[in-house]
Amino acid sequence: MSTRYADQVPFSELMRKQSEVADKAAHGKGVLLRRRNEEDLVLMSAAQAESTANGFSVASRMFVSLMKQDAGARGLLMVLPDVFPWVRYLSEEDVREFLVDLVQTIHACDDLENLAPLETAVAAWRSTAEVYADPKLRVALTEGELDDLGRVEVC
């Protein structure tokens, strides 16, 4: 898990030492609560959560503004491989499409106050790059005929 939280404690410690853990959360970047067999949780002050959301919102608006200017859009295109090295396997047209999709998704996530779609969009584009990076896989997925592989069970 992430190391961005200075304090990491087992979830059970929150139950035993509520005040101590709450103090750590209130005076730091948050506390990562480790849970056995469950997704970890983060405990932080409301002010810290608000600050994080506001920071994302500012960045979102800046990206949207940059995309409206030719020089800004070119600049973002130039730095994209530094942030996402795998874009090197996409065509130029796909890289541009990824950038537009990325900025639009960031903007929509800000509006929804939900970052899950951003993670999904980046993962989808990364998967596309993986296909382009593997010539055999690309041929199999784009040029070959796909046989019916039977029923798919939905969980």
Between CA 47 and CA 116 the distance in angstroms is 22
For residues 48 and 123, the model is more confident at 123
Q: What percent of the chain has pLDDT over 90?
A: 74
**Domain residue extents for the chain:** 7-44, 47-142
**pTM for the whole structure:** 0.75
Between CA 54 and CA 71 the distance in angstroms is 26
- Helix ranges (DSSP H) in the chain: 11-16, 18-26, 46-67, 70-83, 92-112, 116-133, 135-142
- pLDDT of amino acid 1: 44
**The domain defined by 7-44 carries CATH number 3.30.70.660:** no
- pLDDT of amino acid 19: 92
Between CA 40 and CA 33 the distance in angstroms is 6
pLDDT band for position 146 (50/70/90)? low
